[in-house]
Structure 1
Amino acid sequence: MGHREDLLEGAKRCLLEKGFVRTTARDIVKESGTNLGSIGYHYGSKDALLAQAFIALVEPMGDDYEKARAAREAAGAGAEAGAEEAGGLERFRDVWAGIIRSVPESRPIWMMTLEVVTQGERLAGIRKLLIEAQEEGRSGLTAMFTGIEESKLPAEVVDTEGRLYTTLLNGLMVQWLFDPDSATTAEQLTEGLRRLMERDGSRPGADGR
């Protein structure tokens, strides 16, 4: 690997061990075996490098959820697997279940996300880059829940359903980080949605008349 790749890998390890605030440029240099000048040359600043490292840690998470779901289907998920392809309640529950199962492994990443939220202005540069990355990540999350290829998703679907999934994801992760014993399960989340849909369908005039 060259210095650019070494810096990225070193920054990823530093983030997982120390988080954003405690990681210094010298920590990254020591971990990557490079030099201080390389950070500015390849990434512009330490904050920009840390933001790229964080994004690199997050990106594989969506792939892991999809691989796990595909493995369960291949193992014989039966009729439920077929229902998932339609993007209905079964798929909704299954994707959330996969996300929740990943919490022990993804906990350090979610803790870093909370660090960005709570540290505010101390991480202003990183925060801006991560907000931009969240915009891109929204379409990937939408693809997971709808079963529609990301490149074929209509913009309005990403901007509506995608925002719903992102909001639910952020709230769910806070619960699981704070107290796993009382956190909402995939089944509870799905049952809540099912009840809401049934209540909406039973309202007078819900059929448009």
Structure 2
Amino acid sequence: MGHREDLLEGAKRCLLQKGFLRTTARDIVKESGTNLASIGYHYGSKDALLVQAYVSLIESVGERFDPAFGAEFSRPAGSLERFQEVWTTIIRTVPESRAVWLLSFELMFQDDRLGDVRKLLAEAQKEGRSGLVALFAGIPEADVDDEAAETQGRFYMTLLNGLMVQWLFDPDSATTAEQLTEGLRRVLDGVGKS
């Protein structure tokens, strides 16, 4: 590995151990075995490096949801059964990815202290929404159009963030995939009845 990769791996370890706000450039250098100048040369700034490390961590969590990485979905795309199957897979990853989700919520609640970082992360969320649509629809992410990402993707992202809050706060009382699916079924059954 070169300095660029060493920095990224060191930054990921720092994020998981210390979080975003407490990680310093010196922490990253110590963890990666590189030097301070390498951060600026390869990433421009410590914050840009940490954003890239965070995105990489989130992508690795997201890969666990993907059938190409072992998650097998047998139910037809677009069905309530598929909806439940995908959420079951996502929820199953929570214990092993807990530190990443905690980091996500640390970043969400920083107000303007991380303004530039939040802008970079907002761009990464667009990709996350597309990835979720592709997962539920059973299509390649490249086939997800902007409208689907901006509507269905936002719906799935909202559900995902809400579920993660519950699972991080109290796993014993958190919503299950079965409960989420039954709730959606009831909402759909009620549409048009009034």
TM-score interval, normalised by the smaller of the two chains: over 0.9
Distance 1:112 1:163 in 2: 20
The residue correspondences of 1:113-192 to structure 2 (distance < 5 A) are: 113-192=104-183
Residue 78 of structure 2, aligned match among 70, 75, 87 = 87
Aligned to 2:35: 35
Higher helix content, 1 or 2: 1
Identity %: 66
Distance 1:58 1:179 in 2: 21
Q: Is the 8 A contact 1:93 1:187 kept in 2?
A: yes
Instruction: Tell me the TM-score normalized by structure 1.
Output: 0.88
Q: CA deviation at 1:85?
A: 2.6
Residue 69 of structure 1, aligned match among 68, 71, 78 = 71
Distance 1:161 1:28 in 2: 37
Distance 1:193 1:123 in 2: 36
Q: Is the 8 A contact 1:69 1:94 kept in 2?
A: no
Instruction: Tell me the TM-score normalized by structure 2.
Output: 0.94
Aligned to 1:5: 5
What value does the CA root-mean-square deviation take over the aligned residues?
1.3
41-50 or 115-124, which moves further after superposition?
A: 115-124
Aligned to 1:106: 97
Distance 1:161 1:2 in 2: 39
**Displaced runs of 4 or more, over 3 A:** none
Distance 1:128 1:200 in 2: 37
Distance 1:195 1:182 in 2: 21
Q: CA deviation at 1:98?
A: 0.7
Q: CA deviation at 1:181?
A: 1.1
CA deviation string 1:124-179 (max 9, x = no partner): 22211111100111101110111122111222111111110001101110111111
Aligned partner letter, 1:69: A
Aligned partner letter, 1:98: T
Aligned to 1:23: 23
Distance 1:53 1:178 in 2: 25
Q: Is the 8 A contact 1:7 1:34 kept in 2?
A: yes
Q: Is the 8 A contact 1:68 1:98 kept in 2?
A: no
